[in-house]
C-alpha cells in the first residue's frame, strides 16, 4: 500500500503537527531527509541552485559529524535546516528520555557547526512519533510532517513516482525526498522534473521557516 498523499484522518488525529502550508498560495515546500551525504547532497544542491529554488534539509546528526563541510554548504546556500535526530531513531521504539536526548545531540551538532535557526524544526524519522514525545518536543520545535511522500526510496519506476508526486501536489504541499545513497538516482531524476513542472505552473518553492514567520 502506498500513501503518496497523507490521509486526512491522520492529519486530524495529530492536529499539533504541521502537515501542509496554506492551500490558497502557490507555494510548495521541498524537504530532503537523512543527509548530508557525500556524493549525494552536493548534486541536490546543484540542481536546486540551477533552478534558484530553496528547500529544507532534515539532517541526521551523525551525518553532519561525518560531513561538516557539506552541512555548512547547505545552509550557506540559503537552505533551511531541521533536526532529524542524531541516530535516525524510530520514535515508536525509542519512547523515553533516550529519544529526547538524541534530538538534543543532533541540535548540538547543528548549532556547533554554525547554524542557529530562529525557528526550530523537527521531523521524526519514519514519521513515527508518540503523542507523549510530541508534547515535550513541541515546546521547543515545530514538528514537520508532510503532505506528499515521493517514495523515492521504493522500487517503483521513477516515471510512476514522478506522476504520482505531481498529481498529489497542490499549493501548500510539503514534499518529502531523501538525501541518501540509496535513493540518489531516483531523487536526482525526480527533483529536476518536479521543479521544472511546477515552475512552469508559476509555483514558488519556499523554506519551511517561512510558514511560521508569516504567522
Contact residues: Zn ion, CB under 5 A: 33-34, 125
Closest distance to Zn ion from the beta carbon of 213 (Å): 25
Q: Which of 33, 147, 152, 209 is catalytic?
A: 33
Shortest reach from residue 29's CB to Zn ion, in Å: 16
Name the residue nearer to Zn ion (CB basis): 60 or 211.
Answer: 60
Using alpha carbons, list the distances in angstroms from residue 107 to 86, 98, 100, 115, 121. 8, 14, 11, 9, 10
Is residue 84 part of the annotated active site? The answer reads: no
Q: Report the C-alpha gap between 83 and 177 in whole angstroms.
A: 15
The secondary structure element, H or E, covering residue 147 is none
Task: Tell me the three cell numbers of residue 210.
Answer: 517561512
| Nearest distance, CB of residue 123 and Zn ion, angstroms | 7
Residue number, 36 or 125, with CB nearest to Zn ion: 125
In whole angstroms, give the CA distance from residue 134 to residue 151: 25
- In angstroms, give the least distance from the CB of 88 to Zn ion: 6
Q: Which is it for the CA torsion 162, 166, 167, 169, positive or negative?
A: positive
Whether 178 is catalytic:
yes
CA–CA separation, 208 and 58 (whole Å)? 11
Residue with Cβ nearer Zn ion (71 or 203): 71
Q: Which of 94, 102, 178, 209 is catalytic?
A: 178
Q: What is the DSSP letter of 155?
A: S
Which of residues 55 and 198 has its CB atom nearest to Zn ion in the complex?
A: 55
- DSSP 3-state of 45: helix
Q: Which residues are catalytic?
A: 33, 178
Amino acid at each position: 500500500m502506498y500513501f503518496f498523499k497523507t490521509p486526512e484522518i491522520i492529519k486530524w488525529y495529530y492536529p499539533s503537527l504541521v502537515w501542509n502550508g496554506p492551500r490558497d498560495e502557490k507555494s510548495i515546500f521541498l524537504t530532503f531527509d537523512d543527509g548530508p551525504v557525500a556524493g549525494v547532497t552536493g548534486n541536490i544542491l546543484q540542481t536546486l541552485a540551477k533552478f534558484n529554488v530553496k528547500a529544507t534539509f532534515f539532517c541526521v546528526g551523525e551525518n553532519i559529524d561525518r560531513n561538516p563541510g557539506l552541512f555548512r554548504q547547505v545552509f550557506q546556500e540559503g537552505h533551511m535546516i531541521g533536526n532529524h535526530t542524531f541516530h535516525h531513531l524510530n520514535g515508536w521504539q525509542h519512547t523515553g528520555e533516550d529519544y529526547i536526548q538524541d534530538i538534543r545531540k543532533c541540535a548540538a551538532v547543528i548549532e556547533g557547526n554554525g547554524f542557529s535557526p530562529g525557528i526550530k524544526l523537527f521531523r521524526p524519522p519514519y514519521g513515527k512519533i508518540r503523542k507523549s514525545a510530541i508534547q515535550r518536543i513541541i515546546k521547543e520545535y515545530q514538528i514537520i510532517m508532510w503532505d506528499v511522500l515521493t517514495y523515492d526510496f521504493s522500487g517503483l519506476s521513477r516515471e510512476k513516482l514522478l506522476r504520482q508526486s505531481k498529481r498529489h501536489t497542490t499549493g501548500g504541499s510539503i514534499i518529502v525526498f531523501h538525501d541518501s545513497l540509496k535513493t540518489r538516482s531516483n531523487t536526482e531524476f525526480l527533483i529536476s522534473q518536479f521543479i521544472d513542472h511546477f515552475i512552469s505552473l508559476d509555483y514558488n518553492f519556499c523554506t519551511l521557516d517561512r510558514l511560521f514567520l508569516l504567522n
